[in-house]
Structure 1
Amino acid sequence: MSAHALLTPLEPTGSLTVEKVLSVRHWNEHLFSFTVTRPPSFRFRSGEFVMIGLMGDNGKPLLRAYSVASPSWAEELEFLSIKVEDGPLTSKLQQVKEGDEIFLGRKPTGTLVADALLPGRRLFLFGTGTGLAPWMSIIRDPDIYDRYEQVVVVHSVRKVSDLAYREELDNKLAGDPLVEDFAATQLHYIPTVTREPFHTSGRIDALIADGTIFAGAPERPQKFDPEHDRVMLCGSMAMIKETAALLDGQGFTEGSNANPGEYVIERAFVG
């Protein structure tokens, strides 16, 4: 346990539990993921987010919304985060080590869930940067492969080292006891890197325009079909606005938990 965890033990509140950090993985100089203990009472749907945080300098919990990157059945909770040198929370969070404590909100929520979409055949998961996190939850949930014939993860980043979980995704989650058989035939992963040489370098809008995102299933339509295609968006505001406008123009409607549609975004993150 690190010194600061020993010096300042956290206390649970009515809305927050205190959990232990189990592991930390630094992907590069500005991206890391970590796992924490999961309270027995904590229930969530794959794709939801929750508030997590540390004690702020003012003696009050400093919290931010983070998508859970682990599936709903997992015994541990996993999160993916950027490192911001002067970020109020991430400047501290990036220093956590195994054995440290963090705050975890008691009530996960969100719209990046299968229930907010109408039934369909193909599911496209478009993410930039840490917007991959909810997709890692969703694609490790067996239920999604019952709902969709094909699941396409498109992850756009600036640098090759930003492609978190690339090995697991390239290998179609091989070794995952619950989904490896489904993922082997139904999961398609398209990484793209915009600022370094890589085999795919277009932004998401370019990959939609040139048909790259449809390459995994040449027998299916090589364009969006609002009757059978469903889309989730998470990441940069620019990507979400551009893609949502494109989908709106092709007859897609945005869904929510109360009123499922053909595509969803996380309103809590985009404002």
Structure 2
Amino acid sequence: MTDALAAPPPAKPSPYHDLPVLWVRHWTDQLFSFAVQRPEDFRFRSGEFVMIGLPGEDGGKPVLRAYSVASPCWAEELEFFSIKVPDGPLTSRLQKIQAGDRVLMGKKPTGTLVLDALTGGERLHLIGTGTGLAPWLSVARDPDTYARFGRVIVSHTVRNVADLAYRDFFSAGIHDDPLVGEEARAQLTYYPTVTREPFETPGRITERIKSGDYFRDLGIDGGFDPARDRVMLCGSMAMIKETAALLEEFGLREGSNAEPADYVLERAFVG
């Protein structure tokens, strides 16, 4: 009799926030950005990633993928930058969201593309390909970035000129940012490269590093200097592995949250 009257166990809290979509912007037929309402209790470090997804179809399990938060840690909304994969389990549906729709977001941000994983230096190189630009949108809008580094270089490599999403923002828009506009104007350099169309800085970023063009264009003598340069990498697996090997040749050491050092990459995206 006691068992029959016992209260049911409390429902297990969901590991996800269910959030409204605030806006969506389609850059090309392959790239889009969107923002969701930030939960009041959500805290993260600029550069971290979180799981984003949608409920499973026909009552199935939610489909989620790791996305870097493109907003700085102080922002009131959470922005994300995504590719569109026509037959992708998540993005085939996610690319169709509109303002007012709802998405799932994990409650535990994490990642190594954070300032805490780097030791002190003079120049910070944020090197990304494709949607690997997302964490730099966060880090480049964090006041701590400019307090720690005298120069910040955002490098974005894409296939076509149209893929340079946020080009106008990094070229000029960030200068009007209410918190870091003045610092960005004085300390930030935007360095885009394009691999499949004519462009003033053509080719893969790894090739421009190996040829020395990257350093000549930026007025840096002698390549990466372990005493002065700190680097973050995000994007394609091929770029990350090749660039990491180049950094090691220059004498830079990989860091982590536990042991900060000269450069970091996001192993959750590399495998």
Task: Quickly name the TM-score band, shorter chain normalised.
Answer: over 0.9
Tell me, yes or no, if the aligned pair for 1:82 and 1:130 is still in contact at 8 Å: yes
1:15 is aligned to 15
2:84 counterpart of 1:90:
no
The gaps in structure 1 that reach 5 residues or longer are: 1-11
**Counterpart code for 1:198:** F
SS of residue in 2 equivalent to 1:28: coil
The alpha-carbon deviation at position 215 of structure 1 amounts to 4.6
2:8 is aligned to none
- Quick one: distance in 2 between partners of 1:59 and 1:102? 15
1:153 is aligned to 154
Matches within 5 A, 1:1-271: 13-57=13-57, 58-171=59-172, 173-215=174-216, 218=219, 220-271=220-271
The alpha-carbon deviation at position 59 of structure 1 amounts to 2.2
The gaps in structure 2 that reach 5 residues or longer are: 1-11
**Counterpart code for 2:90:** L
Which stretch shifts more, 234-243 or 165-174? 165-174
Normalised to the residue count of structure 1, the TM-score between the two structures is: 0.92
**Counterpart code for 1:213:** Y
Q: 1:216 to 1:194 in 2, by over 3 A?
A: closer
Q: Deviations over 1:39-75 (max 9, x none)?
A: 0000000000000100122522111000000100000
- Quick one: distance in 2 between partners of 1:14 and 1:258? 29
**Counterpart code for 1:150:** R
Which stretch shifts more, 254-263 or 191-200? 191-200
The alpha-carbon deviation at position 227 of structure 1 amounts to 1.1
Q: Deviations over 1:67-121 (max 9, x none)?
A: 0001000000000000000000000000000000000110000000000001100
- Quick one: distance in 2 between partners of 1:172 and 1:216? 22
Paired-residue identity, %: 63
Tell me, yes or no, if the aligned pair for 2:122 and 2:151 is still in contact at 8 Å: yes
Tell me, yes or no, if the aligned pair for 2:125 and 2:232 is still in contact at 8 Å: yes
**Counterpart code for 1:168:** F
- Quick one: distance in 2 between partners of 1:231 and 1:125? 6
Which stretch shifts more, 59-68 or 45-54? 59-68
- Quick one: distance in 2 between partners of 1:210 and 1:150? 22
**Counterpart code for 2:78:** L
1:4 is aligned to none
Normalised to the residue count of structure 2, the TM-score between the two structures is: 0.92
Tell me, yes or no, if the aligned pair for 1:211 and 1:223 is still in contact at 8 Å: yes
The alpha-carbon deviation at position 196 of structure 1 amounts to 1.3
Tell me, yes or no, if the aligned pair for 2:53 and 2:64 is still in contact at 8 Å: yes
Aligned residues: 259
- Quick one: distance in 1 between partners of 2:65 and 2:206? 29
SS of residue in 2 equivalent to 1:39: coil
Tell me, yes or no, if the aligned pair for 1:154 and 1:213 is still in contact at 8 Å: no
Tell me, yes or no, if the aligned pair for 1:172 and 1:184 is still in contact at 8 Å: no
Q: Which runs of 4+ in 1 moved over 4 A?
A: none
- Quick one: distance in 1 between partners of 2:212 and 2:249? 17
SS of residue in 1 equivalent to 2:154: strand
The alpha-carbon deviation at position 222 of structure 1 amounts to 4.1
Q: Deviations over 1:180-239 (max 9, x none)?
A: 100111000011111112111121112213334335653x53411011100000001110
The alpha-carbon deviation at position 14 of structure 1 amounts to 2.7
- Quick one: distance in 1 between partners of 2:126 and 2:156? 8
Tell me, yes or no, if the aligned pair for 2:223 and 2:250 is still in contact at 8 Å: no
- Quick one: distance in 1 between partners of 2:215 and 2:147? 20
**Counterpart code for 1:171:** A
- Quick one: distance in 2 between partners of 1:244 and 1:198? 25
SS of residue in 2 equivalent to 1:104: strand
Tell me, yes or no, if the aligned pair for 1:117 and 1:263 is still in contact at 8 Å: yes
